[in-house]
């Protein structure tokens, strides 16, 4: 268990490894809402996971073009796979034993050094004046944008959308109605270099308004357009994202 994994376990939340494994379901729009909230909060402070998300996002768009009926059947694993797995398990066992021995030695050292360090700290406190702590840095502000939605399908009704820039990508929050009940709709963000990135999916609810938070792994300054398309790929809702320098939250 690395430092990030142990920190997550102590706080009762998912570990860094568990959060990293959620990146795939996130870009495919298949991550449950509670897990997505935890992962979004983690991404704001983890550059490594943000980099992984940027690499995965284009792959998710390519997967949408795959025809399941034309994919090959299951492939038998190579014969040497079992040998490699057994060797890896054995190596992991050896590493675990070494880590356990190191932790035992560290525990013994702590029992000796902690009382000494406490005594030294007490001596230092009595010799210096206590200075007021500096105030914590202010959280960076996030510039929200209210932009008009343009229904392309006459049955769809919508007004404005809220666009939120993040350090890991862009978020579009919208409320609209008139989508066919039970039909699947996808959000797509077009970038300045012409890429089409997935921004999530939702089911239509007919005349009842649907509220969606759609996210794509592209910075706001690199996004030029957001659209909602139906199962046939037809655009039913459009949102222009004009160039604008915005602070990233």
Q: Model confidence over 94-128: pLDDT tens digits?
A: 778 888 888 877 776 666 555 655 665 565 555 54
What's residue 117's pLDDT?
Answer: 58
User: Among 208, 212, 152, which residue's Cα sits nearest to residue 180?
Assistant: 208
Average pLDDT across the chain, whole number: 81
Q: How far apart are CA 10 and CA 91, in angstroms?
A: 27
Look up the CATH number of domain 145-240: 2.60.40.770
Q: What does the DSSP 8-state code read for residue 28? A: T
Block residue for tokens 């392309």: 152
Whether the model pTM is above 0.75: no
Q: What does the DSSP 8-state code read for residue 192? A: T
User: Among 197, 249, 206, 194, which residue's Cα sits nearest to residue 227?
Assistant: 197
What's residue 5's pLDDT?
Answer: 52
Cβ contact 235:225 at 8 Å: no
Q: How far apart are CA 183 and CA 10, in angstroms?
A: 42
What's residue 13's pLDDT?
Answer: 77
């Amino acid at each position: 268990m690395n430092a990030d994994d142990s920190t997550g376990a102590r706080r009762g939340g998912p570990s860094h490894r568990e959060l990293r494994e959620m990146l795939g379901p996130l870009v495919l729009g298949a991550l449950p809402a509670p897990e997505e909230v935890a992962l979004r909060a983690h991404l704001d402070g983890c550059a490594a996971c943000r980099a992984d998300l940027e690499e995965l996002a284009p792959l998710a768009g390519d997967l949408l073009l795959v025809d399941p009926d034309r994919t090959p059947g299951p492939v038998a694993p190579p014969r040497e796979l079992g040998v490699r797995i057994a060797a890896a398990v054995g190596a992991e066992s050896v590493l675990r034993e070494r880590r356990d021995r190191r932790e035992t030695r560290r525990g013994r050292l702590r029992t000796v050094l902690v009382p000494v360090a406490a005594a030294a700290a007490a001596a230092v406190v009595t010799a210096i004046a206590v200075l007021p702590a500096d105030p914590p840095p202010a959280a960076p502000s996030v510039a929200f944008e209210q932009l008009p939605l343009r229904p392309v399908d006459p049955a769809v009704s919508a007004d404005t959308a809220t666009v939120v820039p993040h350090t890991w990508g862009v978020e579009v929050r919208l409320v609209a109605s008139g989508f066919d009940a039970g039909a699947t709709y996808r959000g797509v963000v077009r970038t300045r270099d012409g890429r089409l990135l997935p921004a999530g999916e939702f089911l239509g609810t007919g005349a009842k308004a649907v509220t969606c938070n759609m996210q794509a792994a592209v910075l706001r300054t690199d996004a030029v357009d957001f659209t909602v398309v139906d199962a046939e790929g037809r655009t039913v809702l459009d949102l222009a994202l004009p160039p604008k320098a915005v602070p990233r939250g």
